[in-house]
Amino acid sequence: MIALILRELRLAATGGAAALPVVFFLLVATLFPFAVGPDGPLLARTGGGALWMAALLAALLPVDRLVEPDRAAGVLDQLALRGQSEESVALAKLIGHWLSFGPPLMLAALPAAALMKLPAEVLLRLELGLAVGTPGLAALTLGVSALTAGLRRSGALAGLLMLPLAVPLLIFGAGLVERGSDAGALPLLAAVSLLLVAGAPFVAGAAIRAARD
């Protein structure tokens, strides 16, 4: 299990694959003020939600590299031969993927928040929301990645599958940023994220098995 998680981290590090979502996230954060204009209060009011949108779209980027290369190369078959259940392989992938996705995104949120002129307490709520929400985003990416593995031109389909499922994360994540934790957004965000994290290994495991036939 640890060897599998380390392998995921190594794969994420090769070729800068892990940097891609972070760079994309920062790019959106840079573009948004250009689009809205240099209106500080307006940016501060809408910036948190925009950053959650950016995080959501950034989570889409690794969809084609999480499962499909391993399926095509026979790595998943070889793991099955060694008695690893597809669910535990998916769990290892989930942990490895989150480690290469969640913390870097939370770091990138610091300069992004500065670009949006977010006040310190809003930034704190954004970081809290990302800490709770990115495992859910990573789980969604993994599940959709496994479901679309082996399909040609799966990118667009992956987006169609994933973005509607991510709506609760977006609502409660952005709600937490905007209204603070007294509105009850944090426990709901945590609940959705937990549900996704708990379900993804089973969905991904079943999808990997089904792709063999």
Partner 1 sequence: MTALLRLEAVTCRRGGRLLFEGLNLALAPGEAAVLTGPNGIGKSSLIRLAAGLLRPAAGTVEAAPAALADDKLALDEARTLHAALGFWASLDGRGPRMAILAMGLGHLVDAPVRILSTGQRKRAALARVIASGAPLWLLDEPANGLDSEGQERLAAAMAEHRAGGGAILAATHQPLGLDDAREVALA
Six token digits for residue 90? 């998916």
Task: Choose which of 5, 7, 44, 99 interacts with partner 1 (CB under 8 A).
Answer: 7
Q: Which alpha helices (DSSP H) does the chain contain, by range?
A: 2-13, 19-36, 40-60, 63-66, 68-72, 75-81, 86-115, 120-148, 154-165, 167-179, 185-210
Query: For the chain, what's the residue count?
Result: 213
* Cβ atoms of 131 and 109 closer than 8 Å: no
At closest approach, how far in Å is the CB of 151 from partner 1?
Answer: 16
Choosing from 53, 80, 131, 188, the residue that interacts with partner 1 (CB under 8 A) is: 80
Among 41, 82, 120, 153, binds partner 1 (CB under 8 A): 82
Nearer to partner 1, 37 or 83 (CB): 83
* Residue 11 engages partner 1 in binding (rule: CB under 8 A): yes
Q: Find out whether 116 and 44 touch, Cβ atoms under 8 Å.
A: yes
2 lies in the site for partner 1, by CB under 8 A? no
For residue 75, state whether it binds partner 1 (rule: CB under 8 A).
Answer: yes
Q: Which residues here bind partner 1, judged by CB under 8 A?
A: 3, 7, 10-11, 14-15, 72-75, 77-78, 80-83, 212-213
